[in-house]
Amino acid sequence: MDEADRQLLRRCRVRLVSELEVAELWDALISRELFTPDMIEDIQRAGSGSRRDQARQLITDLETRGSQALPLFISCLRDTGQNLLASFLSNSRQAPGASIRPGLVDLNPIELTVPQMRQNPSKAMVENIPKVMTGPDYPRSPELRPVVSQPVTAGSGELRDTCDPGVRLHHEWAYVLDANPCGYCLIINNVNFCPKSELSSRTGSDIDCEKMQRRFHLLHFTVEVKRDLTAKEMHLALCKLAQRDHSVLDCCVVVILSHGCQAVHRQFPGAVYGTDGCSVPVERIVNIFNGTNCPSLGGKPKLFFIQACGGEQKDRGFEVTSASPEDGAFDSTVESDAAPFQKGPESSDQPDAVASLPTPSDIFVSYSTFPGFVSWRNISSGSWYIETLDRVFEQWADSEDLQHLLLRVANAVSEKGIYKQMPGCFNFLRKKLFFKT
């Protein structure tokens, strides 16, 4: 959709949400191939499932459906007898004032600072903008900050945020996280494993657990901690969370701290161990919260943070021009959360469970390490990944979205130790996600 049509939809959003009869539109939208049946189901599950929530989600998603989306949508309105709205949109689209009005909508706040600087390229402004740097000190980079910055007063040497929390959280391209509490956060912390499992105790994991418990409490989540669960108990705890009523909440978070391994998968790699030595595939954990199993979370972000090994490979990295002096020796206090690759047959319900899943949406899975590789944990300070995650969230969660936060985590963790570790994620979110701080 071109910019003029997109802004027209946004100017008309209030009336559309108020008057649109969405129930009449579904078949027309599918027949004109504006949306697929799966997309319509996602829209129908939006928010509380009310007509207004569905209308709001439909107008938002319409912006992503191509250059002819608006005229096709107007045709659908006419086909379903909603002629007043069709004429209103058609006339507004043809009116001289329907062109883009500069500054009306900020699709990318970062880009606004560039023309401002070009129009007034004062020496003080250019010289005083902080340089982009990377490293464990997390220098503040304006290029990564998804907020509008005020012009710099000559000689001040800094950029100041003007990000009002209300504006940030209700941005057109951001999830709304304004419920109090924001949602549930379940932390599963497996430390002690039965002797038959041949898995070592995860010393230092309690430190990770305390950090995550405190961090998500500060981010306005209701936090629940489960310790030393078997695979069956893990599955049961996750199912109970999915079966709760999330209709008045905006988000859901699951943090799993355990040993892990490679596993046969079709969607999300890896598996995590229960204390009995039995593994639970990550994709099964994620799919407990899909639209079928947890309808009250439909259209809402579901976040998973997995601190566990993805396999047994130890990555020594590759040689670069410079390296930190402290990386020259391996720290004996660092352990891995690795366990052997599970090659056994899938359980009897696995094929049916996977085959019947809808397309993933509103899901974000953050892994502590690349699939197939070990994840390192310090017995006195906790895992590299959780320690860094907590620190980055503390410093940047009030101004950056989730993807930028995880980029900082990945960069910092990748620079640690003689053995290397590379966090990553599977992102099926439809919008930016800013935590409520």
Q: Please report which helix (H) or strand (E) contains residue 283, including its range.
A: helix 282-287
The whole-angstrom separation of Cα 282 and Cα 425 is 12
The whole-angstrom separation of Cα 129 and Cα 366 is 32
Q: Is 252 a catalytic residue?
A: no
* Tokens at 175, concatenated: 């999830």
Which of 163, 261, 309, 425 is labelled catalytic?
309
3-state secondary structure of 224: strand
Phi, psi of 266 (to 5 degrees): -120, -20
* Tokens at 114, concatenated: 């560039």
Which of 171, 220, 246, 259 is labelled catalytic?
259
Q: Is 309 a catalytic residue?
A: yes
The whole-angstrom separation of Cα 137 and Cα 50 is 46
Report DSSP letters for 17-80, one per residue.
HHH--GGGTHHHHHHTTSS-HHHHHHHHTSTTS-HHHHHHHHHHHHTTS-TTHHHHHHHHHHHT
Can you name the residues that pair with 251 across neighbouring β-strands?
183
The whole-angstrom separation of Cα 73 and Cα 79 is 10
Tell me how far apart the terminal alpha carbons of the chain are, to the nearest angstrom: 33
Phi, psi of 314 (to 5 degrees): -105, 125
Task: Pick the closest to residue 420 from 316, 308, 313, 311 (CA basis).
Answer: 316
Sheet with 363-367: strands ordered across: 221-227, 183-189, 251-257, 302-307, 363-367, 424-428
> Which single residue is written with the structure tokens 């909440």?
249
The whole-angstrom separation of Cα 365 and Cα 320 is 30
The whole-angstrom separation of Cα 144 and Cα 183 is 27
* Tokens at 125, concatenated: 């402004």
The three-point CA angle 36-302-255 to 5° equals 150
User: What separation in angstroms does the CA of 81 have from each of 75, 86, 286, 337?
Assistant: 10, 9, 41, 61
> Which single residue is written with the structure tokens 């928010």?
47
- What residue type is 222 in one-letter code? T
* Tokens at 75, concatenated: 């045709």
Catalytic residues: 259, 309
